[in-house]
A and B are shown apart, each in its own frame.
Chain A
Amino acid sequence: SSELTQDPAVSAALGQTVRLTCQGDSLTTSYASWCQVKTGQAPVFVISGKNLRPSGIPDRFSASSSGDTGFLTITGAQAEDEADYYCISRDTTDKYVIFGGGTKLTVL
């Protein structure tokens, strides 16, 4: 399969823990990584599927997986976390990079 499925939109109250999901057949043999896209800005790498964050990314972001689904959890969402989040992997042939459709996170 060449698809990663994400919920189109998720909302969370300020300080709430929110979990974004990414489902796809390729995730049974690979981890999804995640990037964040804020309005008018270039994407930013947030976390790998092995739960490794680049410098500058707060530790409230974590990643995990189960079966064919990857998860991005934000523990205590902040206003600045409002953005589109995309999961990334390669397809089941392990050749082509694929993106999930993106989840628009709104922090209320």
Chain B
Amino acid sequence: NAGVTQTPKFRVLKTGQSMTLLCAQDMNHEYMYWYRQDPGMGLRLIHYSVGEGTTAKGEVPDGYNVSRLKKQNFLLGLESAAPSQTSVYFCASSYPRGGTGKNTGELFFGEGSRLTVL
């Protein structure tokens, strides 16, 4: 099992360019997430999905769009990149959070995608 795979791992964009980050998981998880990580700010949720065909906004959704056409894939799009979107992006997946018992809803993270916008 590969777990959670993100592509690309590195990308440099110019302001105004567009791009898509791809996340794939092979654990049959219902939930998938996109986080961004900036120094001193921890991980902030951009968008998430609780199932195929569904998406929802997280804490910092502006400037991003997502799609979940297949259960195993979650795409993050930047339509017009800005320098403020320079960050490390992490995709994660999980089973639905049960809160108690065996299902902790722990997140399984990909290795990250480092994006620089000039």
Query: Do the two chains belong together in a single complex?
Result: no
